[in-house]
Chains A and B, each alone.
Chain A
């Protein structure tokens, strides 16, 4: 992507007759091209726009008006209600509880899963032990096994450990299911580092952990950022594991959101629902817009799994 940007800049610098002859800006081809792209972009933006607009209207306005119309009376009441008063079952303390549960789940899951997977990747890249490749192959195959097959065995394991229903149980589950892709990511990255670094560390008498902490980790910050983005969005957006392995008072935000919006009792408050939906989507969206290029790299990394 860098190349095209710099190429564009070079084209702009028309000090001499170099490069191809500039095209007319308003050729038929360009109108068609940008027109199509604009229409598609509007289609992709529409749901986000409708979410924002709906969440800022009052219920009477929603009943009478058009979902695409901007709000006449802007009100933040739906946001306040979604955050602190919306009901799920008997609890009426809003999404805030789900939000803090999600934070308490996401932070340790991300830290632990990245720590474990990076050590795995390091061991696989530099300290190949007997049978390592076999376990790694099973792990990668595991990424393709439908989660449903392993749901119940994990329930039993967690129950044996006394963690079923607790936040820590869910943290372990996230570490397990994040492991295949992250391990692959780190293994590939560490393999691509020059082996001389590792050998130099050995000569200087550093052991397994010494080389990992002093050489490998400081050299691989970009890949840690990529892993961080994959994990934060993935774990925050998870629904299945949340609903299976936690109890109503420890439900993550996605599960609570679904319960609020799809509850059958009461009058449907569409503005509160959309405010709640936006609140839940805000964390991954913020990460997406802030990280930009790293997010795309994370996708590319996720894409080469297997």
Chain B
């Protein structure tokens, strides 16, 4: 009985906030709530409006580009870094500390630093031009076509250390004998990695994938700090659309519809993963 009372915060959080809040937002996404939520149902109107708003479409496109690049690059870079650190090198702890420190910083700090580094007049572009290469053009934050890659650079700097750490833990879990056997058989190192080690790292890869993916959908602070969605609407993301609709445009219905779409995209990733996990438990 005491246990139940002591767990009251958990019970309330799970049922009222997580389950209740999600259902609440879902229901109200079918209403025409404006400044305040109200229960006047308008069917799928909000969703139709959402999918015909250019800003939302740009947000989705950006999230897609950012998401794919983020997954691929952070897995590849994280793995390469982990493999380099796993060569029994000296100063391993120092290198690991350096690669991981950006992860301790907030996205706001990350975004502001990279805003400064990518500043066209004083940043990397300015420095290279100052060295004499005057036609050098590297200005991602002010070019609508590539601004999302400018954000990607900052995001990768901040979070590859985490992926590296996960992968390194995975590599350390691999039996030394496998390496010895591969060496005895004369298999080159890169082939051992690609065909033997990476398949063995599957659980770690899945974990890393889930962590990266759930971070991608949440991306918000980084964009706010680095570009505020600009130039124009070129670097908008869904999370920012939701915030702006709910708290500055007094258009709650749109915010609810957009956040429900975000939830949907997470479920598309989450359900197959949960299915795999549960499948494993049943067999084991």
Which residues of A pack against B, CB within 8 Å? 1, 4, 8, 33-34, 36-37, 40-41, 44-48, 50-51, 54, 62-63, 66-68, 116, 119-120, 123-124, 127, 129, 132, 135-136, 138-139, 141-142, 144-154, 156-157, 175-176, 179, 183, 207-209, 233, 236-240, 243-244, 254, 257-258, 261-262, 270, 273-274, 277, 280-281, 284-285, 287-289, 292, 295-296, 299-300, 302-304, 306
Contact = CB atoms under 8 A, between A and B. Distances in A.
User: By DSSP majority rule, is chain A's interface helix, strand, loop, or mixed?
Assistant: helix
11 contacts: A1-B92, A37-B85, A116-B10, A119-B7, A120-B7, A157-B16, A179-B9, A237-B108, A261-B112, A262-B228, A300-B169
Interface string B1-41: 01110110111011111111110110010000000010000
Given A37-B84, A66-B126, A153-B25, 4 more contacts: A4-B92, A146-B262, A240-B220, A280-B108
B107 to A, nearest CB: 7
B98 A254 contact: no
A30 to B, nearest CB: 8
Nearest to A237: B106
A288 B161 CA distance: 13
Contacts of B126: 66-67
A27 B218 CA distance: 45
A293 to B, nearest CB: 9
Contacts of B11: 135
Given A116-B10, A176-B17, A304-B207, A54 B246 contact: no
B13 A179 contact: yes
A68 B125 CA distance: 12
B63 to A, nearest CB: 12
A219 to B, nearest CB: 18
Contacts of A179: 9-10, 13
A138 B101 contact: no
B50 to A, nearest CB: 13
Contacts of B4: 129
A240 B25 contact: no
Nearest to A23: B88
Interface stretch (B68-76, B113-121, B139-147, B194-202): B113-121
Contacts of A129: 3-4, 7
A205 to B, nearest CB: 14
A148 B98 CA distance: 33
B104 A295 contact: yes
B233 interface: no
Contacts of B17: 142, 150, 153-154, 157, 176
A149 B6 contact: no
B1 to A, nearest CB: 8
A41 B99 contact: yes
Interface in B124-171: 124, 126-127, 130, 157, 161-162, 165-166, 169
A256 to B, nearest CB: 10
B252 A277 contact: no
B100 A254 contact: no
B239 A146 contact: yes
A152 B252 contact: yes
B260 to A, nearest CB: 7
Nearest to B115: A261
Contact of A37 (B88, B89, B116, B243): B89
Contacts of A151: 242-243, 246, 259
Nearest to A150: B21
Q: Which of A36, A141, A149, A299 has the largest count of B CB atoms less than 10 A from its CB?
A: A149
